[in-house]
Amino acid sequence: MEQRKTIVIDPVTRIEGHAKITLQLDEQGHVEDAHFHVTQFRGFEKFCEGRPFSEMPALMARICGICPVSHLMASAKVCDALLAVRIPPTADKLRRIFGLAQVVQSHALSLFYLSSPDLLLGMDADPASSNLFGVAQKNPALALDGIRLRQFGQQIIERLGGKRIHPAWVVPGGVSEPLTLLNRDAILGALPEALQIAERTLEWFKGISEKFREEIATFGNFPTLFMGIVKHDGGLTFYDGKIRISDASGNVVADGLEPARYSDYLGEKVEPWSYLKSTYYKPKGFPEGIYRVGPLARMNVADRCGTPRADQELAEFHELQRTAVLSSFHYHQARLIEILYCIERMEQLLNDPEILSKHVRAFARPNELEGVGACEAPRGTLFHHYKIDEQGLIRWANLVIATGHNSVAMNRSILQVAKHFVRGDRLSPGMLNRVEAVIRTYDPCLSCSTHASGRMMLRVELRNSGGEIVDQISS
Amino acid sequence: MSKPRLATVWLDGCSGCHMSFLDIDERILALAEKADLVYSPLVDTKTFPEEVDITLVEGSVSNEDDLHKIQIVREHTKTLISLGDCAVTANVPAMRNPFFTKEVYDRAYRENVTFDPGTPNQVVPRLLPFARPVHEIVPVDVFVPGCPPSAEVIFYVLTELLEGRTPELSAKTRFGA
């Protein structure tokens, strides 16, 4: 009897969270199907029940240590809606700077700490040196740039919020403390160096991406919809705006959608083999309603970035493909353009004469029983939705997280990569590393996506249908 | 003499403790001179190594995988560090403990779903009835509270242990710090 085999990559390494990948082979040993399994789950949507809404920003930030600022922001925006206040203009701007700093540090983590080993040392590099330390040996300047850029973002978060991870500075109605002159000038002083790092990394990346033609052709290179929040003028934003959805040809299919009405146009589906839910665009149904979010999607949906250098780079980015830019490999370049944008945009905001205003918080009692808050997290659109009772205690919550929007696309991407590179009759680390590398392009945050967290280790086994191990890779 | 072997493990936490570890910034390269990072989210090691001198554990023990994993980690580690409030007290993950796991699952996978509701039960590990701190499952040698402990504290702990001293933490960090 022919035996069908399954390849298990457990866990996927150099991603933010715990996951495994299974590849199902046909009788000839060709990859037939692929699944990305997210294996941890915590249950924030339930255990917040009965707690005061004002606790939510600090609690929800604990969903994720990489992008706590996005959760703080989305959660605080729900709270603003519950208070039914308009936050002071300076608080709005300070929150924006906070969010931009986080995008820089999170993108730097993804590109330098997690993906640069694949990009610098190659997809087939020895797994023993495929890490930041291997990068530091081959190209110390690149590793130091990555460390410095992440530090730059984290230091801004610390200057504004008091600590680098889980600051409690964003609160219902605004922020808890104004920006001091000293901190404003210190942040402004750090911008030029960060901009230089972003510029030279982008040049480096564009230089090496030639070497990855086969990966560009197969790393999630297929038509999907793209979704992101854009400003009223169609420009890039991370903090506030309306939802835009565009298609693979680059045409806008839905615009000006209210984030608060997300459940009208987005559906959530359970896959029995993953704690990560799959989100889809309701008018097209599942799975035709597949869409992508995050840097690639934002570059595809936004009309412009709105800052000079980022806009030049965006124009060049669109030359990669006349339609929407489809390959998920290009997430990396999109991420670098966003870093440029964030640095340029922070400079504009910090030079605003209002930025040092002491009026940074609006106070009120809850005036609404239900609210939605949305923002663009580094990885894509993030929604928080809470209902409270008359006492302000949480009765119900729903969180729709960036990585969930990409779930269908990530599964389809690993299938595309595996079909192209993986040969079932013999396994090599490089083959399977590419399956993981396409996941890294999405920079999934699995702590976020299941409101859970993960850990990393790689074990690869080839089992026959009886569950017997027939081949395995170990370190 | 070979360098001391260091590992970092991520159970049920938010990754914030690992991010705080990365917040030692460029000192991570100097640390790599003093110790080998043999297992961590940052490196592609495939199985937990046989002999590890120091392991930092982030997160509580919340599901079947965590339970299995922490026992392997303990067995192969000389000095086991509970890093951060989730490892030390179960902290945020333990907030689900007053609820039945079914209620927690149902909110996410039955109520807040528009298509194919049902609790995932293939491949994924089941939640344990309660999220537990690490020391309730295996003996722990050093406790480092904080949410997360600061980069300075983590660097201090590692430096002291690598120098053969016991870190004194009472004045340096606290729960919720």
The structural domains of chain A, with segments of one domain joined by +, span 6-42+421-473, 86-220+327-363
Summarised one tens digit per residue, pLDDT across range A248-295 is 999 999 999 999 999 999 999 999 999 999 999 999 999 999 999 999
Q: What integer pLDDT is reported at residue A10 of this predicted model?
A: 79
Rg (alpha carbons) of chain B, rounded to whole number: 17
B6–chain A Cβ distance below 8 A for any pair:
no
A127–chain B Cβ distance below 8 A for any pair:
yes
The answer to whether A455 contacts B47, with C-beta atoms less than 8 Å apart, is: no
**Cβ pair A277, A284 in contact under 8 A:** no
Asked whether residue A475 carries a pLDDT value surpassing 60, the answer given is: no
Best probe of the B interface among A10, A41, A107, A138, by most B CBs < 10 A, is: A41
The answer to whether A273 contacts B39, with C-beta atoms less than 8 Å apart, is: no
Q: Which residues contact A368 (CB under 8 A, 6 or more apart)?
A: A81, A82, A83, A84
Summarised one tens digit per residue, pLDDT across range A8-28 is 887 788 888 888 899 999 888
Summarised one tens digit per residue, pLDDT across range B74-109 is 999 999 999 999 999 999 999 999 999 999 999 999
What b/e sequence results for A43-53 when a residue is b if at least 16 CB atoms lie within 10 Å of its CB, and e otherwise?
A: bbbbbbbebeb
* CA–CA dist A3, A185 (Å, integer): 66
Task: Render A108-167 in DSSP notation, one character per residue.
Answer: HIIIIIIIHIIIII-TTS-TTT-SHHHHHHH-HHHHHHHHHHHHHHHHHHHHHHSSSSS-
Residue A123's CB is within 10 A of a number of other CB atoms, namely 21
Pair of tokens at residue B71: 């026992």
Average pLDDT over residues A137-150: 98
Region class of B123: left (phi > 0), else alpha (psi between -120 and 50), else beta:
left
B23–chain A Cβ distance below 8 A for any pair:
yes
* CA–CA dist B37, B42 (Å, integer): 9
What Cα–Cα distance (Å) separates residue A334 from each residue in A120, A220, A234, A286?
A: 18, 15, 17, 27
CA distance A303 to chain B (A): 32
- Cα A329 to chain centroid, rounded: 14
Asked whether residue A132 carries a pLDDT value surpassing 80, the answer given is: yes
Average pLDDT over residues B136-164: 97
Helix axes A89-108, A68-83, angle to 10 degrees: 160
B72–chain A Cβ distance below 8 A for any pair:
no
The DSSP element (H or E) to which B130 belongs, if any, is strand B127-132
* CA–CA dist A198, B86 (Å, integer): 35
Closest by CA position to A379, among listed A416, A423, A328, A425: A328
The answer to whether B124 contacts A273, with C-beta atoms less than 8 Å apart, is: yes
The answer to whether A275 contacts B120, with C-beta atoms less than 8 Å apart, is: yes
Q: What integer pLDDT is reported at residue A465 of this predicted model?
A: 52
Asked whether residue A459 carries a pLDDT value surpassing 50, the answer given is: no
Summarised one tens digit per residue, pLDDT across range A324-338 is 999 999 999 999 999
CA distance A318 to chain B (A): 32
Least confident of A383-387, A415-419, A456-460: A456-460
Contact map slice: A 66-125 vs B, CB within 8 A = 66, 68, 109, 113
Per-residue pLDDT band at B47 (split at 50, 70, 90)? confident
CATH superfamily for A86-220+327-363 is Cytochrome-c3 Hydrogenase, chain B (1.10.645.10)
* CA–CA dist A10, B130 (Å, integer): 25
CATH class of the region B5-95+130-162: alpha beta
**Cβ pair B82, B135 in contact under 8 A:** yes
Q: What integer pLDDT is reported at residue A453 of this predicted model?
A: 29
Residues in chain A with CB shorter than 8 Å from the CB of B154 are none
What b/e sequence results for B135-146 when a residue is b if at least 16 CB atoms lie within 10 Å of its CB, and e otherwise?
A: bebbebbbbbbb
The answer to whether B108 contacts A127, with C-beta atoms less than 8 Å apart, is: no
Residues in chain B with CB shorter than 8 Å from the CB of A131 are 37, 42-44
Q: Which residues contact B52 (CB under 8 A, 6 or more apart)?
A: B5, B6, B7, B38, B39, B73, B76, B77, B78
Average pLDDT over residues A402-409: 93
Residues in chain A with CB shorter than 8 Å from the CB of B35 are none
* CA–CA dist A32, A28 (Å, integer): 10
The DSSP element (H or E) to which A388 belongs, if any, is strand A380-388
Residue A353's CB is within 10 A of a number of other CB atoms, namely 6
CA distance B61 to chain A (A): 11
* CA–CA dist B141, B160 (Å, integer): 14
Region class of B15: left (phi > 0), else alpha (psi between -120 and 50), else beta:
left
Q: What integer pLDDT is reported at residue B132 of this predicted model?
A: 98
Provide ipTM, 2 decimals: 0.96
**Cβ pair A413, A220 in contact under 8 A:** yes
C-alpha dihedral over B82, B124, A402, A144, to 10 degrees?
50
* CA–CA dist B114, A279 (Å, integer): 9
C-alpha dihedral over A302, A308, A310, A313, to 10 degrees?
100
Indicate the residue of A40, A154, A447 with minimum beta-carbon distance to B23: A154
Q: Which residues contact A444 (CB under 8 A, 6 or more apart)?
A: A15, A16, A17, A19, A379, A403, A406, A410
Closest by CA position to A150, among listed A101, A203, A99: A101
